[in-house]
DNA sequence: ACTTTTACAGAAAAATATTCTTTTTTAGGA
DNA sequence: TCCTAAAAAAGAATATTTTTCTGTAAAAGT
């Protein structure tokens, strides 16, 4: 399942725009429809292409605040982590959650309407979790870059 | 340009899967093709739907390391920030960059093949920028959640 | 009461995806 | 060098989907 140059070209295009037609792609890489079709299906089947999604505008949906939460747990046992993870999975405001090395245990990214909503989230949803010991909030002042495009 | 419940249903579906056909959506929300078509086009035109992208598998592309870089600049002037921003935009490993409040200036998310690549990135690409004063690296040990789905 | 606008339905036309068959290319072995 | 098998690509057909057009009904404004 090694990716050749043609696969990579297709992936680069699809990362840019999931609505490129097979014909668009075929034209851009000088191939006919068939190999493009077959390769895309293969890449989907192999899981290289995970899914096709729509990217919406945060602000137009009323989500004007982004924050990073650096969370420290009470204990570092498996059960504590798992309990925390399961709770996080249920929270739509949490768009990223990574277990990390360093002075704290988790780095979360939260997208939420405003400061008031964040206050509520912090006090009523996050800090009340039994696994959570400390929360350090880093507020985003301005978004410089945000992309789903991975280096290929 | 207020979003009604039908718009929101369409957006929720498209966030899940950009390859749902208009017919799929029409069936799921009990409408005919026409209103679904018109609403999707309107949402695109208004910029609520920004783009359609393919989500690829990091690891299958050989990117096995994710890190957060907390960067402090040498100065906090506009020119310093802008210079840094422009450099960041050119770096494909940097998938997120936010100007933040707190003990450092920027929070970056880096997706990269391995520790050796990160070492190279850190030493030869990031720390050499004239605007950069300090870099604190937070390594991701395990990804718990990562979604493009915004709360609606 | 009449007109205009908005939202939706249905059908036809155009574009696209999918499948099937054929051709070309490539690599390995006699 | 030739032959064969496998892989990759082209071309053509069929099926689906998107797009456009026409029409209807309800709501809003005059």
Q: Where in chain A is the domain with CATH 3.30.70.920?
A: 59-139
At residue B2, what are phi and psi to the nearest 5 degrees? Answer: -70, 140
Q: Where in chain A is the domain with CATH 1.10.10.10?
A: 5-46
**pLDDT at residue number B96:** 98
How confident is the model over B130-143, as a mean pLDDT? 98
Tell whether B76 lies on the interface with A, counting CB pairs under 8 A.
Answer: no
Note the pTM of the prediction, 2 decimals. Answer: 0.94
- pLDDT tens digits along B94-129: 999 999 999 999 999 999 999 999 999 999 999 999
**pLDDT at residue number A1:** 72
CB A31, CB A6: distance < 8 Å: yes
> Among residues of chain A, what percentage have pLDDT more than 90?
99
**pLDDT at residue number B109:** 98
Q: Establish whether the CB of B9 is closer than 7 Å to any nucleic acid atom in strand C.
A: no
Please report residues contacting nucleic strand D, using a CB cutoff of 7 A. A 6, 31-35, 38-39; B 21-24, 33-34, 37, 41
Question: Residue A78, Cβ neighbours under 10 Å: how many?
Answer: 8
Contact criterion met (CB < 8 Å) for B100 and A141: yes
**In the structure encoding, which two tokens stand for residue B5, read together?**
């419940």
**pLDDT at residue number B2:** 86
- Residue in B53, B99, B142 closest to A55 by CB: B53
Coil vs helix vs strand at A94: strand
Taking 3-state DSSP, the helix, strand and coil percentages for chain B, each rounded to the nearest 5, stand at 40, 30, 30
B33 vs chain A: nearest CA distance in angstroms? 19
Find out if CATH 3.30.1370.60 is the number for domain B5-46. no
- pLDDT tens digits along B25-41: 999 999 999 999 999 99
The distance (Å) linking the CA of B23 with the C1' of D17 is 8
- Residue in B48, B55, B60 closest to A53 by CB: B55
Find out if CATH 3.30.70.920 is the number for domain B59-139. yes
The distance (Å) linking the CA of B91 with the C1' of D22 is 52
pLDDT under 70 in chain A at which residues? none
**pLDDT at residue number B20:** 97
CB B94, CB A87: distance < 8 Å: no
CB A99, CB A82: distance < 8 Å: no
- pLDDT tens digits along B61-85: 999 999 999 999 999 999 999 999 9
**In the structure encoding, which two tokens stand for residue B145, read together?**
């959640």
Residue B1 pLDDT grade (very low, low, confident, very high; cuts 50, 70, 90): confident
Tell whether B149 lies on the interface with A, counting CB pairs under 8 A.
Answer: yes
- pLDDT tens digits along A56-74: 999 999 999 999 999 999 9
Tell whether B59 lies on the interface with A, counting CB pairs under 8 A.
Answer: no
Contact criterion met (CB < 8 Å) for B139 and A66: no
């Amino acid at each position: 399942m090694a990716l050749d140059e043609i696969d990579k070209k297709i992936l680069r295009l699809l990362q840019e725009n999931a609505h490129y037609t097979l014909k668009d792609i075929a034209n851009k890489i000088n191939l006919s429809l068939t190999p493009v079709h077959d390769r895309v299906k293969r890449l989907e089947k192999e899981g290289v292409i995970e899914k096709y999604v729509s990217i919406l505008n945060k602000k137009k949906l009323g989500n004007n605040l982004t924050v990073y939460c650096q969370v420290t747990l009470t204990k570092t046992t498996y059960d504590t982590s798992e309990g925390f993870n399961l709770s996080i999975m249920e929270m739509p405001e949490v768009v990223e959650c990574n277990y990390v090395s360093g002075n704290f245990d988790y780095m979360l990214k939260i997208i939420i309407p405003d400061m008031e909503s964040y206050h509520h989230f912090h006090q009523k949803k996050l800090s009340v979790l039994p696994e959570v010991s400390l929360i350090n909030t880093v507020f985003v002042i301005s978004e410089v870059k945000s992309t789903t495009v991975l280096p290929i």
